[in-house]
Chain A
Amino acid sequence: MEQQTEQLTFDFHTERANIVSESRDEIKLELGKFAGPLDLLLYLIKQEQANIFDIPIARITDEYLKYIRLMKSLDIALAGDFIVMAATLIEIKSKMLLPRELTHELDEEIEDPRQELVDRLLEYEKFKSAAQMLYSRATVEQAVFTRGQIESDENNAETNATVFDLITVFQKILARHKEEVQMEIRREEMSLSDMIKAMQQRIFQTNELNLLDFFREISTRSEIVLAFIAVLEIVRTESVKLLQEKTFGDIILRKA
């Protein structure tokens, strides 16, 4: 459930479940989003206008289960935590049905099976209010603007790595490979799309790729040529940037 709600914005006041109509044994709900089982439980307690210190467990459990079933029937993926809470509620309900043990001393306070849940609800409610406070603060802050960024080398490292810079790097690498004594044992043809894939993988793993390093790992001349074309192709088609921190420095491919 969390997974789904994560990307959405919300409003504390509107995106709530609303009971649209209610008859004796049928309940129609407009589904809202709940941050978790405690959130749902608090909502149900408020709906029932029940006292949090004296929760009518049987009634609330029924409502809770109704809600869970409804979500299931609508194929809403339920977080396991909602099920855990359902089990907890049922456990409390059954404990309350059991006769109080007679072995207890008279003056000994018998703990209310609901106590732990009440404590958790109260604790959770505080943080829910705190979240609301943060929400209001963030809203106020959105009305405040600071000046736009002043351009500097630090925040704009995207100094133009031109085709010529690329060629220079390319030549450096070619020159180095010329000096090396090559011993080709196998002939492995790599296609341009293979090269692009390999490069993409590297970029997406680490977010950035030092081109010089990448070229260094390549052994054959034809692969270097492929790599060079691959760079041009990736920059053209993908959302990646070519960065060069300083003139003649290493060129880095970065995910935009």
Chain B
Amino acid sequence: MTENEKQPRGVAELISIVEALIFVADEPVSAKTLADVLEEDRETVEAAIEGLVKEYETREGGLQLRSLAGGWQISTRTEFHEEIRAFLKTRPSAKLSLAALETLAVIAYKQPATVPEILEIRGVQSASAIKTLLDKRLIVSKGRKETVGRPMQYGTSKDFLIQFGLKDLSELPSIEDFEDLAQ
């Protein structure tokens, strides 16, 4: 089929194609990327995604379609994790240490955050925690801060959003919300 004789796709067809593409994508795929590949309007693709979301909701199958890290991803529903683990013969992977999680929290909320800023809040040197987070690609360096000592700045990565199931950073509860919780 050449460019010229391209038939406009029907809504149902587009929904199916969108589903197929989201399925094969390694990472959450954005509506924009899908629109570019399919040479469709972004609105049309977004409408198709919305249709697909509804299908998934109505069907209540083993899979879910969710918005993650600025894109869309097909994954299993949480309810079936035990059966899936039994089948895959896997165990939950090693969790982050308390130190690493705290450091990650500081970086997530204060980004771009420098080592001295993290030290100030945590009251402890966090070099090895930062290294762990960098190794796990949860944080990325964001250049140096133009201040005394030009410390390296860190921010969270796309992998952070994916691994913590976040649409974007705004989905994190506000840090002030933890004030009441802590009391």
Contact = CB atoms under 8 A, between A and B. Distances in A.
A167 interface: no
Contacts of A125: 178, 182
Contacts of A80: 125
Interface residues of A, number: 50
Interface stretch (A55-63, A137-145, A208-216, A238-246): A137-145
B122 A124 contact: yes
B90 to A, nearest CB: 9
Interface in B48-92: 64, 73-78, 81, 84, 88, 92
B124 A79 contact: yes
Contacts of A1: 124
Given A10-B98, A35-B99, A127 B128 contact: no
A129 B181 contact: yes
**Which secondary structure characterizes the binding site on chain B?**
helix
B78 A140 contact: yes
A138 B133 CA distance: 14
A122 B179 CA distance: 8
B161 to A, nearest CB: 11
Contact of B92 (A2, A120, A126, A142): A142
Contacts of B84: 145
B76 A144 contact: yes
A137 B124 contact: no
Contacts of A5: 97-99
A147 interface: yes
A8 B95 CA distance: 8
A130 B179 CA distance: 10
Interface stretch (B9-17, B37-45, B104-112, B147-155): B104-112
A123 interface: yes
A6 B99 contact: yes
Contacts of B175: 126-127, 130
A127 B121 contact: yes
Contacts of B26: 149-150, 155
Nearest to A36: B124
B169 interface: no
B108 A138 contact: no
Nearest to A132: B101
A135 interface: yes
Contacts of A126: 175-176, 178-179, 182
B102 A146 contact: no
Contact of B182 (A2, A120, A122, A147): A122
A6 B97 contact: yes
B95 A36 contact: no
B96 interface: yes
B123 interface: yes
A143 B106 contact: no
Interface in B116-148: 121-129, 132
Which of A7, A38, A124, A126 neighbours the largest number of chain B CB atoms within 10 Å of its CB? A126
Nearest to B24: A150
A10 B132 CA distance: 15
Contacts of B1: none
A75 to B, nearest CB: 20
Interface of B: 23-24, 26, 64, 73-78, 81, 84, 88, 92-102, 104-106, 108-109, 121-129, 132, 163-166, 173, 175-176, 178-179, 181-182
The 8 closest A-B pairs by CB, nearest first: A36-B124, A143-B81, A130-B105, A129-B178, A125-B182, A38-B123, A131-B101, A143-B78
Given A126-B182, A138-B96, A146-B74, 9 more contacts: A2-B124, A6-B129, A8-B97, A37-B123, A81-B125, A126-B175, A126-B178, A127-B121, A127-B122
